[in-house]
A and B are shown apart, each in its own frame.
Chain A
Amino acid sequence: MADDELGGWGAFVQEQDAMDAERSQAASEREARPDEWRNVWVYAEVRDDHVRSSVYELIGKARELADALGVRVETFLAGTGDVDRHAQALIKAGADAVYIAKSPLHARQDPDAVHASLVHHVRRRRPELLLFGQNTFNDALAARLAVTLDTGCVTRVSGIRLETSERLFVFDQVGYGGRLERSSWIPKAKPQVATVLRRSFTRPLPDPTRTGQVIDVMTELGHEDLRLQVVGEAPEPAGLPLSQAPAVVLCGKGIGSKEGYAAAGRLTEIIHDCQMATTRSSVDLGFGPADRLVGIHGIRIAPRLLITLGVSGDLDTLEGIDTDRVSTWVAVDRDPESPILAMADIAVVSDWEPFIDALVETLKAEKRALTF
């Protein structure tokens, strides 16, 4: 029967047979040389000419796992121009080697170019674990890579443990709105591919005495490898809605004025992905805008970091906070009897203004120190 009559079925079967053969070969290779999958890799994602902070967190965890296995931590960086300058920071954070794949096609994080580079070098160097920071782009990249390499992929990982007896990794994943955790592993395939939620691991302090290798690797990429053709820039979509903001500064009527609300906004310039919000009483007094109202009649927030300034903690406001999701709650109030202080993780008995002035200065200094 002709392929046309089969609706493409014959061609499909042939293609699947070819894929079968390729996968069998890959499986045989894995079985024949199981010990050759070694080392922990971290994909060093560059954004706006900086290595993303989550990469350093991953290197910290990778170092711990690699030390337990007696292998190396290696990072893979795809970029263009003077990306070499990032290598020393990655080494000081814990990497033993930094592979740098330079190509003009990596000027943007082109999904096809990054995928092609990674596939080529992972096949060649055979890491046993490959870690990405979790985001929309990396989830798709990791999944595509896993299918191409015929292995499994787990996402939204918040913890990694080593099953030493089997030389496998167990991944703790957060799902179902943060209410469930599950542990997964990929027992029969390598490399193990995972995307890891930000702030799951502590960013290591840089060790200025560390040394490592910086290795330029070939990237034989041509424009024919790119499927998507870029025809222009697109504006960033408006930021996350307040309901999904990972950090929120919530100002109550204790903020005292519209100017006070604006002054507290300095925190949002330093804390990552931080947004301002306000309470019903503050809106009624004209201190905060109505579209930032949190509470029964407003928006329900579920940040990881919540800073409340001059908020008393009445029921109206508390109904708008998913307190189960808050990891760190800093409450500032001058009244030591204020009920909100007992609900927070960190209670600061103080006027909010001198506290915020000092906090802004401390955070600025810490941010400078973090930029290796």
Chain B
Amino acid sequence: MSPPLVKADARRPLVVAIINQVPDLTYLRIDPGTGEIDLDEPDRVLHPNDRQPVESALRVKDADDAQVLVMAVDRQGAEEGIREALSMGADEGLLLSSGATRHSDALARANLLAHTVRHLPRCDAVFVGTETMEPDWSTVGGAIAAILDWNLVPGGREVRLKDGGTHGVAMYGAAFVRYKAAGPAVVTVRPDTHKPRWPTTWGVRDAYRDRTIQALNLTDLEIDGRMLARMASLTETRGQRVVRERKKETETFTDPPEVSARVIGKRLARDGYLGGF
């Protein structure tokens, strides 16, 4: 029999906020041997955009008396991120500790996260950010929805639980609509959705002094070799580099304004700044 993954009360709604740890680039290191960025070395921080799914989940807690579980794949500093979310008001933290997936791509980590969600005693909604500093993180929400075969609510806001389903606002293309859906949902949350709450003094004390974060490894999650193979990355990195500050050269226009404006205007249009249509 699979072990209970969290101490959550199965009678109350449970929502999950997934966070991602990203390197603190203030302390970025370059491997002198390869000249590549060492993404293991820098401290990892909770990206401000990842406070958005936590805030969205906490709003469901405020409105629907839900329990909030914060989940992260173990990378350096992930525990700190979970504690920050706990200090904002989340109820429990779950750290998925797997050396095998530590360096895997976002879809492989989505597989692990989806597998864990499936093992929870119940789950009514999963909130995940659309952007952190990691380029592919925005795929995680859509991937989890596909793996679990759950409803996908892109760019969701004001999401609430009702009658075993969810309702709120979703993004359809570039427009926003009010929706309702039966069954659990994966909600992707944009960076500009909410103004996330700050941790409270009591929350910080509670999160850092009194709370333990449950860490689960592959055995706890009953993941065998075959499953792990299925979670293998399909995307491979072929190199990464620091973007060097380019040396700027100024082009000066002293022509009559209408002449300068014509040249510059055409250049702005060519470079796509008129956008839209």
A binding-site residues for B, Cβ under 8 Å:
1, 5-9, 12, 16, 19-20, 23, 45-48, 50-53, 57, 108-112, 135-137, 139-148, 151-156, 170, 173-189, 195, 198-199, 202-203, 227-237, 240-241, 244, 247, 270-273, 304-305, 324, 327-330, 336, 341-351, 354-359, 361-363, 365-367, 369-371
Give CA–CA (A237, B170) in the complex, Å: 11
Inter-chain contacts of B180 with A (CB < 8 A): 228-229, 231
Q: A156-B135, A180-B240 are in contact. List 20 more A-B contacts (CB 8 A).
A: A48-B174, A110-B172, A139-B188, A140-B138, A142-B142, A177-B133, A181-B241, A183-B237, A183-B239, A186-B235, A187-B236, A199-B271, A228-B180, A233-B175, A233-B178, A236-B175, A237-B193, A346-B264, A349-B254, A359-B261
Q: Does B2 contact A (CB under 8 A)?
A: yes
> What are 6 A-B residue pairs whose CB atoms fall within 8 Å in the complex?
A12-B118, A53-B277, A136-B154, A142-B139, A152-B105, A244-B191
List, in ascending order, chain B residues with CB within 8 A of A324's CB.
245
Give bound CA distance, A329 to B273, whole Å.
12
B23: interface (CB < 8 Å): yes
| B154 partner residues in chain A, CB cutoff 8 A | 111, 136-137, 140-141
Asked if B253 and A109 make an inter-chain contact with CB atoms under 8 angstroms apart, the answer reads no
With A and B bound together, what is the CA distance between A192 and B145 in angstroms?
20
Of residues 235 through 275 on chain B, the ones whose CB sits less than 8 Å from some CB of chain A are: 235-243, 245, 248-254, 256-258, 260-262, 264-275
Contact B192 A240 (CB under 8 A): yes
Smallest distance from the beta carbon of B224 to chain A beta carbons, Å?
Answer: 10
Q: How far is the CB of B264 from chain A (nearest CB, A)?
A: 6
Q: Is B228 an interface residue (CB 8 A)?
A: no
**A137/B236 in contact, CB under 8 A:** no
User: Are the CB atoms of A137 and B261 closer together than 8 Å?
Assistant: no
Which of A23, A341, A370 sits near B252, CB closer than 8 Å? A341
Of residues A195, A324, A370, which shows the largest number of chain B Cβ atoms within 10 Å of its Cβ?
Answer: A370
Cβ B174 vs Cβ A47 within 8 A: yes
Contact in complex: A354, B145 (CB < 8 Å): no
Hey, what's the 0/1 contact readout for B166-194 against A, CB within 8 Å counting as 1?
A: 01011111111111110100001011110
| A240-B152 Cα distance, complex, nearest whole Å | 24
**Which of the four size classes fits the interface of chain B?**
35 or more
A347 pairs with B177, CB closer than 8 A: no
- Given the contacts A234-B169, A358-B261, A139 and B142 also touching, CB distance less than 8 Å: yes
Known: A109-B173, A143-B140. A363 touches B268 (CB 8 A): yes
Residues of chain B within 8 A of A230, CB atoms compared: 172, 177-179
Nearest-CB distance from B148 to chain A (Å)? 10
What is the distance, in angstroms, from B236's C-beta to the closest C-beta of chain A?
A: 6
From the candidates A47, A111, A146, A179, name the one contacting B143 in the complex (CB within 8 A): A146
Q: Are B136 and A179 in contact (CB under 8 A)?
A: no
B147 adjacent to chain A (CB < 8 Å): yes
Query: Known contacts A140-B154, A355-B257: does B252 contact A328 (CB below 8 Å)?
Result: no
Bound-state CA distance A247–B158 (Å) is: 29
Bound-complex Cα distance A153 to B266 (A): 35
| Contact partners of A233 in chain B: CB under 8 A | 175-178
Flag if A344 contacts B250 (CB, 8 Å). Answer: yes
Query: Which of B107-151 touch A at CB < 8 Å?
Result: 107, 110, 118-119, 121, 130, 133-136, 138-143, 145-147, 151
B142 touches A227 (CB 8 A): no
Chain B 214-249: CB-based contact to A (< 8 A → 1; otherwise 0): 000000001000110010011111111111010011
Residues of B within 8 A of A110 (CB): 172
Given A143-B140, A146-B139: A350 and B260 within 8 A (CB)? yes
Report yes or no: B143 in contact with A348, Cβ–Cβ below 8 A. no
Q: Closest residue of chain B to A202, judged by CB?
A: B270
Closest 5 CB pairs of A and B: A272-B275, A109-B173, A362-B265, A143-B142, A358-B261
Residues of chain A with a CB closer than 8 A to B236's CB: 184-187
Counting chain B CB atoms within 10 Å of each CB, which of A6, A355, A357 scores highest?
A355
- Distance between Cα atoms of A236 and B190 in the complex (Å): 13
- Given A227-B181, A347-B253, A50:B277 Cβ within 8 A: yes
Q: Which residues of A contact B257 (CB under 8 A)?
A: 348, 350-351, 354-355, 357-358
Given contacts A146-B143, A186-B235, A233-B178, contact A330 B264 (CB under 8 A): yes
Residue with the highest number of chain A CB atoms closer than 10 Å, among B154, B181, B266: B154
